[in-house]
Structure 1
Amino acid sequence: MGILHDDVVIINQSKNEAEPSVITINCPDKTGLGCDLCRILLFFGLTIVRGDGKWCYIVLWVIPKPIIKWDTCRWELLKNRLIGTCPSCSSAFGISYYSSELQSSMVTDVFLIKLFCYDRKGLSHDITTVLCNLELDIKKVKVSTTPVGTVMNLFFVTDTRELLHTKMRQEETYEALVDVMQAAIISCNVEKVGPEVTACSQASPFLSSAITNDVVLRTSNNVSVTMDNSFSPAHTLVQIVCQDHKGLLYDIMRTLKDYNIQISYGRFYIKQGRKCEIDLFITQADGKKIIDPSMQRALSSRLQMELLRPLRVVVVSRGPDTELLVANPVELSSKGRPLVFHDITLALKMLNTCIFLAEIGRHVIGDQEWEVYRVLLDEGASLSTPRRKIEEGVWKLLMGWEQI
């Protein structure tokens, strides 16, 4: 017998907000499944505090952010998204099959939300929060402030529900924005655009040197990655010890996905002091251990780098102006890290720092594609807040360390 649709994902909601809810996933396997699942949980604002999985029976203990209202509808949406990313399974014949090739060939429609409004403090964050709650994935942003106190916001988004082409979904988006912004809205328009608007472009030398500078902040200098082939006859054991941060498991999983690594068993838990221990039994795409020392060194080095610097944050001078740069690596599947712009705008709002211009772009730096957020800070606000404090404040929000 195959796996029943309702049994692919089971969510046991915690009755106590302080205790984690438990998500159980049981489906056929595919390379990168762990990354895809962790990305969805990160997009929904969930923190994974413990995880256990063997082949494709995965159990995750998660805690929602207290600022997000989790009702039955939101849990059901999460369940549908998790089911949607699992490989298909035929319940009639018990035959599982992969649809990754079909899914990768499908082009997701990109829409432009053009929002003209009066400026006010925290405006960009409020708009971003509305779009995230509507499950609109922000691909690119251009925010321009005029001298007369108005702002043109251009948000290029894809719709997780794939309904933004309908009048009903567009009206829902408009009404949600009006609820938050009220009389600040002057006009709002939604239109479909070509996928070329999110295409990758080559970075300028200035951008590249700023992002790759070793001065940027790090999570911790204490990251340990070890590999051992003696524990299992068929798998390589990877043991990781590091400090916890927002999206930690996603950062590990996307790295392994990019290396085409298969995970047969994994365990993740957080100890006192936010210290994390992760054990993963892995194989290469051909089902064999990682024996080659050079391959082991390359994978270990990449994991260490991604955990030391999962995102890069720096504040630089751009002529007379101050610019905040945030960059994160893009998966080989061309998916970027979720909620980055949301956290940037939230941090700046908490720091009482206003945005004058903002944009998101894809850039090639070295041999890797990056998603780069460029935020030109309001001159008056930026002068009142020390540069180092802006860097640290944005970094802490992105890492999930809420106090600024």
Structure 2
Amino acid sequence: MGIIYEDAVLIKEAERAGEHTVITVNCPDKTGLGCDLCRIILLFGLSIVRGDVSTDGKWCYLVFWVVGKPTTRWNLLRKRLLEVCPKCTPSASGIFYFIPEFQQPRPPQIFLLKFGVLMTGKAFYMLLSSSDDGHLKSRLMKELLQTSKRREETIKSLKVVLGDTMMSCDIEVAAPEVTSCLQSFLPSSVSEDIFSLPLSGELSSGVLASDSVSIIVDNALSPSHTLVQIFCQDHKGLIYDIMRTLKDYNIQISYGRFSANTKGNCELDLFIMQADGKKITDTHKKNALCSRLRMELIHPLRVDVVSRGPDTELLVVNPVELSGRGRPLVFYDITLALKDLNISIFSVEIGRHRIHDREWEVYRILIDECDCLSATRDEIKECVRKKLMGWE
């Protein structure tokens, strides 16, 4: 089977208000492709309102209906989506054919972004610590910066946002001592409180989680596939959360359909099978998959506000894919929520920790309390969580 390379990813932008942009992907299949595509769509700040997925195990066809923004860079989105599609090789006719790739994916390269800006007392979208000399210095780990062109684009974008307040900026490959800091120390009290959340729809503070989750597994409808039916409350990145869970379990989707309604609910029908091409008949495997899916739908992110000595600390935790990729836009949404509350940040620690046999990305934000806080702890927690879940 072959396809013209330019047709592998097509984007039809919405022509009128109220319409959806349609993203079509037609390429060779691989386990986890849906996860990779949904992660990029989430990274661009888009919401998936409907989707169809089908594959014969070698070639796949995916259609996503998304809600875009006036500032969305559609050409760049298309380029990023093409990058995660399996490679094809051209023939003399101009048709591209699939080349199976059996080598293990290489771990992502880590880069160190360092820049300093004049301190204004407000929370910047990118901020890790404030220094005593009145300047701010940020050190952010970023991927996809392998070329000098991409680094220059990043620096230029920062300059546009920060203007004359930016004093310096540099991007370099992170040294081993820097990457080792990703596995920093985490107090045991934090692990006990935020990593052991119940599967009910209500948190201890009374703030509702993503509730009303129904998961039904049926092996009778299809002779070769397991049907998983999911009904749940919609949230930002919901399709990504489901896709990454299936990817981590090495489960393939042969056919899937999902849609979100105006009431904020989402329905999914997924015909899946294991990597060996068989249905999931083992009771232990079915229960483990359902339990993980339920956890990811109820608590895709964990948010808490705690005391750190005499100070107030905001904690945000999200699971990391087995491939090593974290959830997109988490830090952006956190800082945007704090900005809406007119709360400044004193320092940020971002690290990865292995808890309960899973790797987690942990954001520890120390809130600047030089002035009286404009919101209570519960208000901070609720505002940050709603921003992360797309419920604002």
Q: Give me the TM-score of the superposition, normalised by structure 2.
A: 0.90
Pick which of 316-325 and 192-201 moved more.
192-201
Distance (Å, rounded) in 2 between the aligned partners of 1:374 and 1:276: 31
- Please state whether the residue corresponding to 2:124 is helix, strand or coil: helix
Q: 1:389-400 residue pairs with structure 2 within 5 A?
A: 389-400=379-390
SS at match of 2:275: coil
Post-superposition Cα deviations, 1:9-61, rounded to whole Å, max 9, x if no partner, equal: 11111112421110111111111111011001001111100001111111110
Write the letter of the residue equivalent to 1:97.
I
Query: Which residue is 2:169 aligned to?
Result: 188
Residue 343, structure 1, aligned to residue 333, structure 2: yes
Matched, 1:383 2:373: yes
SS in 2 for 1:383: coil
Other-structure match for 2:99: 97
Q: CA deviation at 1:223?
A: 0.3
The equivalent of 2:243 in structure 1 is: 253
Identify unmatched segments of 5+ residues in structure 1: 129-141
Do the aligned residues in 2 keep the contact of 1:110 with 1:195 (CA within 8 Å)?
Answer: no
CA contact 1:30–1:98 (8 Å) conserved in 2: no
Indicate conservation of the 8 Å contact 2:342/2:374, yes or no. Answer: no
What is the correspondence of 1:3-22 to structure 2 with a 5 Å cutoff?
3-22=3-22
The Cα of 1:94 is off from its aligned counterpart by: 6.7
Q: What is the CA–CA distance in structure 1 between the aligned matches of 2:151 and 2:97, rounded to whole Å?
A: 39
- 2:211 corresponds in structure 1 to 221
Amino acid at match of 1:60: F
| Superposition deviation, residue 78 in structure 1 | 1.0
TM-score (norm 1): 0.87
Contact 1:117–1:187 (Cα < 8 Å) also in 2: yes
**Whole-Å separation in 1 of the counterparts to 2:36 and 2:152:** 30
Give secondary structure in 1 for the equivalent of 2:370.
Answer: helix
In 2, the alpha carbon distance for the partners of 1:317 and 1:203 equals: 14
Cα 1:289–1:173 change in 2 (3 A) is closer
User: Is 1:177 aligned to residue 158 of structure 2?
Assistant: yes
Q: Deviations over 1:313-350 (max 9, x none)?
A: 00000110000000000000011001100100100000
Are 2:57 and 1:58 equivalent residues in the alignment?
no
Number of equivalent positions: 376
Q: Deviations over 1:376-401 (max 9, x none)?
A: 00013563320000000000110011
1:160-215 residue CA offsets vs partner (Å, 9 max, x unmatched) = 5x32xx2x554443333232222322322333223663455263313312322533
Higher mean alpha-carbon deviation, 180-189 vs 42-51, is at: 180-189
CA distance in 1, matches of 2:239, 2:302: 18
- Contact 1:357–1:377 (8 Å) recurs in 2: yes
Q: Where do residues 10-49 of structure 1 align in structure 2 (5 Å cutoff)? A: 10-49=10-49
- Measure, in 2, the Cα distance between the counterparts of 1:293 and 1:212: 26
Query: Secondary structure in 2 aligned to 1:380?
Result: coil
AA aligned opposite 1:83: L
Aligned-partner Cα distance in 2 for 1:45–1:147: 35
8 Å contact kept, 1:242–1:277: yes
2:136 is the alignment partner of 1:151: yes
Q: Out of 214, 233, 255, which is 1:265 matched to?
A: 255
Contact 2:341–2:374, Cα closer than 8 Å, also in 1: no
Q: 1:82 to 1:377 in 2, by over 3 A?
A: same
**Per-residue CA distance 1:273-323 (angstroms, 9 max, x = gap):** 111100000001110001111111111111001100000000000110000
- 1:222 is matched by which residue type in structure 2? S
Indicate which of 289, 298, 311 corresponds to 1:308.
Answer: 298
Provide structure 2 residue ranges, at least 5 long, that are not aligned to the other structure: 198-203
Q: What's the counterpart of residue 86 of structure 2?
A: 87
